Structure 1
Amino acid sequence: MDHDERLRHASSFGTAAPAYAEHRPDYAQAAVRWALEPAPGWRVLDLGAGTGKLTGTLRAIGADVTAVEPDPAMLSELLRTLPEVPALPGSAEAIPLPDGSVDAVLAGNAMHWFDPAVAAREIARVLSPGGVLAGLWNVLDDDVDWVAGLAAVSASAAIGPRDTPAGWRAEPLFSGTGPDARFGSPVRAEFPHGQRRTADSLVATLATRAGMLVMPPPEREATLGRIRAFLASRPETAAGAFTLPMLTCVLRLRRR
């Protein structure tokens, strides 16, 4: 994906901010705790916070969290659902916080949208010495047969390269650790997670993916139609609520 295409995808979420807030999953608490484990304290920046899915999990485990989000519509949803959280307009490339003001910077399903070289400088600037940078991604567990089938019929716009465990493991997700050596070597971990869905709400969830949001309407409706037909054909998903098997995957780095 070239620079312009990446920006088009990254800026698409505001068009579906209420649906994103309603349908996207939170993050496994065990994954968030592991991400913060080496941090010198619990002053946390949720960077690229979207509508606050990770922000809410951070608050639930007792972190002192500040959210930063570039999209006004997404930020508005965050402020509506979590009015007690300090939330600021800004981006990974221009973080509106003082030097050394946080112990950890976490990004939920967002780090792949950052400009790595610029973001690495800014994240290192706001982190205290020894602070943690961690990206978290919710991916579908396609070791489960019906989930693998869903990925096959969904097309990459709905379930993309980093949306399954194997794809996530294979993809270089952050390259801000170059010759300037601001961060140590990355480590990865994966944690079981799940989300209660119905066929309709799972379709609505997949419709909030960037690839779906930028797709021409006829193509998007055709893709969603294939997904609906597949879910109606499977005993696991055809009637009532089910748990969507997921993993929360974490990439963690330490500030030197």
Structure 2
Amino acid sequence: MPTLPPEQSHASEYEPHRHRRVAESFGWEPHRYDRTRPRYPAALVDRIVAASPGPDVLDVGCGTGIAARQFQAAGCRVLGVEPDARMAAFARRSGVEVQVATFEAWEAAGRTFDAVIAGTAWHWVDPVTGAAKAAQVLRPGGRLAAFWHVFQLPSDVAEAFAAAHRRAMPDSPFDLQPTKQALDAYQAMFTNASGGIRAVTGFSDPEQWRFDWEQSYTRDAWLDQMPTQGALTQLPPDKLAEVLEGVGAAIDAMGGSFTMRYATVAVTAARTDAA
């Protein structure tokens, strides 16, 4: 289920980075966000590290430091950039160096990196401005890699979520489209990221890397994660409770747990010349 405003018919109209209230709504409970959000496949981290010329990584929209810590564990030196001071403070306590700024406004101060990554965050960055800035701070051969989890809820859970969300927020800008194929729902995001890269000079043609995996959730574990999703972060407590009740009932009807199928997809390109 995308945590973004609805997909537009053309990539040029798809501009979630303009929805700043949603983009900056995730820091209300950073402990829950860090505890419940899924980690990224080790194979993805390893491939980005192997495809980069060195260990210096800039993590754009690093949040609580989930991806940053994974790259640190792989031997990288990571600097995070995060617009939400609450998320940045959590990341610092977990051992990640973070500067508070949007990527567009962040000052590199002459620093350069071997990789610029963004885990479930690049859609909040202007795709052309972001790619141009990444090109400026990447060393020759350095890699830009923006990646997202694409997850497919079981149909009963997805339909319960969409129905409860419509009841709670009939005027919501989010279109959860429970019957739509998950990868199709995210394709506008991937297209936007690739288009931004192609719009600036100095990058190879962007590629998509896909990593499939699964994770099991109990009812309580999934309901614990749901309030961290963009479609729900701004709901009043009574409306949020209404959505959680509807989804919880659907999971109970399935026996109290389910298996989520994930595809983690990276849009990535290499810096082809000096900045």
CA distance in structure 2 between the partners assigned to 1:87 and 1:167 by the alignment = 31
Q: C-alpha separation between the residues in 1 aligned to 2:108 and 2:134?
A: 10
**TM-score scaled by structure 2?**
0.79
Q: Deviations over 1:182-201 (max 9, x none)?
A: 42221112112344532112
SS of the residue 1:137 aligns to: strand
Find the counterpart in structure 2 of residue 252 from structure 1: 268
Tell me if the contact between 2:17 and 2:123 (Cα under 8 Å) persists in the aligned partners. no
Structure 1 residues 158 and 25, CA gap change in structure 2 (3 angstroms)? farther
Letter in 2 for 1:252: T
- Quickly say closer, same or farther: Cα 1:209–1:48, change in 2 above 3 A: same
- Determine the structure 1 residue equivalent to 2:124: 113
Q: More displaced, 1-10 or 194-203?
A: 1-10
Residue 225 of structure 1 and its aligned partner are, at CA, apart by 1.3
Q: CA RMSD in A?
A: 2.7
Match of 2:74 in 1: 61
Compute the displacement of 1:31 (Å).
1.2
Report deviation, 1:48: 0.4
Distance 1:196 1:60, change over 3 A: farther
User: What amino acid is the match of 1:152?
Assistant: E
Aligned residue pairs total 246
Match in the other structure for 2:145: 134
Deviation at 1:221, TM superposition (A): 2.3
Corresponding position of 1:104: 115
Note if 1:148 corresponds to 2:155: yes
In structure 1, the partner of 2:31 is 18
Query: Mapping of 1:1-256 within 5 angstroms?
Result: 1=5, 6-80=19-93, 82-83=94-95, 85-99=96-110, 101-142=112-153, 147-155=154-162, 164-169=182-187, 171=189, 172-174=191-193, 175-195=195-215, 197-235=217-255, 238=256, 244-256=260-272
Q: Secondary structure at the match of 1:26?
A: coil
CA 1:14–1:127: 2 relative to 1, 3 Å: same
How far 1:20 moved relative to its partner?
0.5
Asked if 1 retains the 8 angstrom alpha-carbon contact of 2:17 and 2:124, the reply is: no
CA 1:217–1:160 in structure 2 vs 1: closer, same or farther (change >3 Å)? farther
Cα distance change on mapping 1:183 and 1:209 into 2, 3 Å: same
Q: Cα offset for 1:35?
A: 2.8
Q: CA deviation at 1:77?
A: 1.1
Give TM-score scaled by structure 1 length.
Answer: 0.85
Where does the alignment leave 5 or more consecutive residues of structure 1 unmatched? none
Secondary structure of the corresponding residue to residue 211 of structure 1: coil
Cα distance in 2, alignment partners of residues 103 and 201 from structure 1 = 36
* AA aligned opposite 2:84: D
1:106 Cα deviation after fit: 0.5
Q: Structure 1 pair 158/69, CA: closer, same or farther in 2 (3 Å)?
A: farther
Question: Do the aligned partners of residues 185 and 220 (structure 1) sit closer, same or farther apart at CA in structure 2, a change above 3 Å counting?
Answer: same
Do the aligned residues in 1 keep the contact of 2:211 with 2:264 (CA within 8 Å)? yes
